[in-house]
A = this chain, B = another copy of it.
Amino acid sequence: MPEPITAYQQLEQKFARLSALSGAAAMLHWDSAAMMPTGGADARAEQLAALSLVSHETLTRPEIADLLTEAEDATASLDEWQRSNLREMRHRWRHATAVDPDLVEAHSRSTSRCEMVWRTARLDNDFATLRPHLEEVVLLTQRIAAAKSAAFDLSPYDALLDEYEPGCRQAMIDPLFADLEGFLPDFLAAVLDRQKSYGMGLRPDGPFDEAVQRSLGLEFMTALGFNFDHGRLDISHHPFTGGVPDDVRLTTRYEADDFTQSLMGTLHETGHALYEQGLPKAWRSQPVGLARGMALHESQSLLIEMQLSRSADFMVYALPRIRAAFNGSGPAWEMDNILRLYQQVAPGFIRVDADEVTYPLHVILRYQLETALLSGDLPVADLPAAWNNGMRKALGITPPNDRLGCLQDIHWPGGAIGYFPTYTLGAMAAAQIFQAAKETIPALKAQVQKGEFAPLLQWLRDNVHALGSSRSTDDILKSATGAPLTAAAFKAHLQERYL
């Protein structure tokens, strides 16, 4: 007779199936962005909706609740990873069951519609058309936040935040953001002043062959340790990293007259991808094997892009290869000029185009606005004015229209309130983690200049990637860097690079 399997083991089986279903959805999301012809959209929406419904039904069946309780009563027989896995299962279950299924479905339908309207409204600079749809999304998101708030005994905003960055609370964000808000305005003024003294960088003349841009990206990805047996690089309008840890699908885009942004875009996604590929292999199908949260995910992309790839050391390795690939010569291709291009600071309207100095100011503005939207203090109708005021105060520039203002991001139309802060938490974490790596690997600078990234990757694997979700973000940061998250390393990095 085989042993009867325990409640915990039954949960592992059920979550393995959930993992496979969400993996299927992840591949289809990638396909939608990178491969799908336009006419496939309706069928794809049905496929994704069916997967989401089936997963939700599976996770919220009463037997899962019973098994969770039973397993939690018998943790003595579990090892540390299994206990962490059980904790993560409970976390997912709580988020799935805290909200009435009808509300989940109404929210899902409302955000799908609002996203569609948003795509056109943004192009047409037409906030008025978006407004009623966004109002509905905000209303339903408020209801979800209220339900989760009651279920988790958290504030409504914290209850939403907890889905993107488990364990993160406004009480942790506020002092960090206040620190940056105190620091950045004067710092930005000083950087802009200093930039004036040596002028803007020269743009190398294109056109830059797409195949050459791609093969350069592949070369750098390979050098950084991306494993092409378990992933691929393709093209999409909005670059992202998708797929599953065993099969990571990155996308980038190429512009014929400028290779610089595309290359950094590829390297940014490579940072996300290395995290995914480095997640613990033994736990691939379980919640504890997943990436810890959005902040840590962003820290890995920004570590590779901002901390590493835009540095002078990296360019010692990279620039000769870039020049050779494009047959570049002349002043625009000199190290000083290329670094100037890659470290240029300029207040602008669009977050995704922002440099690392002004980016946090974009994020902090969105954080302030979305907390006010959620609490009801800011009616959706007043959003454009509040946005423009905020931009004027934060960056001294006023968007000439909503397309360059409050219509630029998909997050709110998509119902994602509580996501924005993770970008800047990630930037701070990237600086803090990279600083710790430099301290632990004394030869890192010389290795980077030679294109030897294996020691850095191994350090990241050991201290971040391979931990999956076994510990909290806070614990991972503390053990990797010796301290909880602060803005210190980020500020020090900015000062060193820009002043």
Contact = CB atoms under 8 A, between A and B. Distances in A.
Contact of A246 (B28, B31, B43, B229): B43
Interface residues of A, number: 41
Contact of A232 (B19, B35, B285): B35
The 10 closest A-B pairs by CB, nearest first: A40-B247, A20-B50, A39-B229, A39-B230, A43-B246, A24-B47, A20-B46, A20-B47, A17-B50, A23-B47
Interface in A21-53: 21, 23-25, 27-28, 31, 35-40, 42-44, 46-51, 53
Nearest to A42: B246
B50 A244 contact: no
Interface of A: 16-17, 19-21, 23-25, 27-28, 31, 35-40, 42-44, 46-51, 53-54, 227-232, 243-247, 284-285
A46 to B, nearest CB: 4
A285 B42 CA distance: 11
A470 B50 CA distance: 25
Identical copies in the complex: 2
Contacts of A285: 46
A8 to B, nearest CB: 20
Given A40-B246, A247-B36, A46 B23 contact: yes
Contact of A53 (B17, B27, B36, B284): B17
Given A23-B47, A24-B24, 15 more contacts: A17-B50, A21-B50, A24-B28, A24-B47, A27-B47, A28-B28, A37-B228, A37-B231, A37-B232, A37-B247, A40-B244, A40-B246, A40-B247, A43-B246, A43-B284
A51 B20 CA distance: 8
Given A28-B27, A37-B231, A230-B37, A244 B43 contact: yes
A111 to B, nearest CB: 19
Main DSSP-derived SS at the A contact region = helix
A24 B50 contact: yes
A43 B289 CA distance: 14
Contacts of A49: 20
A37 B229 contact: yes
Given A31-B27, A31-B31, A21 B37 contact: no
B51 A24 contact: yes
A229 B17 contact: no
Contacts of A24: 24-25, 28, 47-48, 50-51
B23 A43 contact: yes
A196 to B, nearest CB: 48
A64 to B, nearest CB: 15
Contacts of A243: 40
A21 to B, nearest CB: 5
Contacts of A35: 35, 232
Nearest to A246: B43
